Structure 1
Amino acid sequence: MTFAIGIAAVGCSSPPAEYSPPDSLCGIAVPARLLKAVLPAGQHISVHPTSSTWNKRCRLRVDGREAFSATVEWWGHDTTLRRVAEDAVAVEPFDEMTKDHRYIYSNTGAVGTVNCPNQGGLKDKLFASVRVTHDDAAESDMKKLITAYTESAASPKECTKPRL
């Protein structure tokens, strides 16, 4: 009987996060408080970077389970934000869009247009995306996170397109 009560008590509340969120997503700075707002509770967080010629992805796992992913990715010069949202996981092209048309966001994902400083010389556009693997993040928190991530990605390092 004690065993059943113990399980019921555990099932009713989730433990607080005991890890500290990183202050960057694989080299792209973001305030840790913005990540904390969208990440699930857990004991341990790990960072898993991957990249290819056209994108850079950063996955976060909490207690061994994928919880979050952030990507910066090159697209053709005429690509629209809605088109990027079409291919993105956890966000749809007609989710909330900011008045300046730079961000589309939902409670599970968001995409943003990166305004590279030397955009005039670029033939392609850089976009950023973030997503969570659960549905209890707030839209407003996802909007704040994609805004910070996109702004930080507008650096000379990220805005230099690889040459083939």
Structure 2
Amino acid sequence: MTPDRTTLRKYSLISAATLTALTFALSGCGGDEQKRDYATPGTLCGIAVDSDTLGPFLPPGHKVTVKDKSYSGAKGCQVTVDNKLIFTSNQVWLEEGSTTAFVAARQSLGRTGHSADSGRFRYSEYEAFGKTRGCVDTKYKQELYTIMQASGSKHRDAEAMKRLIISYTKGVEKSTECTAGAL
């Protein structure tokens, strides 16, 4: 039994509609994927950072900008992507004898439930705090602390924040900011 013209036409219209819908569905899966049109910064406030560890905290976009946001007693940088604040880093001088837990309690946007190196570093999935070693301002009796916050990022990774704060803090310890207080 051979199908008549009406039946053939009906099946060809259904097949064409199915093929069109399938084409749109498949192209929609990869077509809207956003990408990063910028290079991940390799330094924040003059301190080297691992761009492979920082990168996942930065969203897709066209333009990244690192701005200096320093003020008396603190050196800071803001990382924006397409004019949206995503990540900040700070170096802050505080009274000798303070602890990283104290700094985190004052500066944290949430709860920093993780610690490393006997409490020298406190961190969560999107922010971290560190205490430098040997960065002491003898005149004003202060010690230098580091802060990193990815408050504008959707990415959450406690181990990456731990790596970032430890590496950043070690970089700060080798910087002129660390030795400036000893002069």
- Partner of 1:96 in structure 2? 114
Structure with the higher fraction of residues in helix conformation: 2
Would the aligned equivalents of 1:90 and 1:108 in 2 still touch at CA under 8 Å? no
Moved more, 43-52 or 64-73: 43-52
Amino acid at match of 2:174: S
CA distance in 1, matches of 2:133, 2:165: 13
Would the aligned equivalents of 1:38 and 1:141 in 2 still touch at CA under 8 Å? no
CA distance in 2, matches of 1:48, 1:30: 15
TM-score (norm 1): 0.82
Deviation of 1:60 after TM superposition, in Å, equals 0.4
Q: Helix, strand or coil for the counterpart of 2:109?
A: coil
- Partner of 1:141 in structure 2? 160
Q: Structure 2: give runs of 5+ residues left out of the alignment.
A: 1-20
Deviation of 1:46 after TM superposition, in Å, equals 0.5
Q: How does 1:2-151 map to 2 (within 5 A)?
A: 9=28, 14-92=33-111, 95-116=113-134, 119=136, 121=138, 123-132=141-150, 133-151=152-170
TM-score (norm 2): 0.75
CA distance in 2, matches of 1:143, 1:69: 15
Is the aligned partner of 1:153 residue 2:172?
A: yes
Would the aligned equivalents of 1:14 and 1:41 in 2 still touch at CA under 8 Å? no
| Matched positions, count | 157
Would the aligned equivalents of 2:57 and 2:153 in 1 still touch at CA under 8 Å? no
What's the % identity of the aligned pairs? Answer: 25
Deviation of 1:134 after TM superposition, in Å, equals 2.6
CA distance in 1, matches of 2:32, 2:103: 37
Would the aligned equivalents of 1:69 and 1:130 in 2 still touch at CA under 8 Å? yes
Q: Helix, strand or coil for the counterpart of 1:69?
A: strand
Structure showing greater radius of gyration is: 2
Would the aligned equivalents of 2:68 and 2:78 in 1 still touch at CA under 8 Å? yes
Q: Helix, strand or coil for the counterpart of 2:134?
A: coil
How big is each residue's C-alpha offset from its partner over 1:100-132, in whole Å with a ceiling of 9 and x where there is no partner?
Answer: 321111111000011136x49462110000011
Deviation of 1:31 after TM superposition, in Å, equals 2.1
Q: Give the CA RMSD over aligned residues.
A: 2.8
Would the aligned equivalents of 2:101 and 2:119 in 1 still touch at CA under 8 Å? no
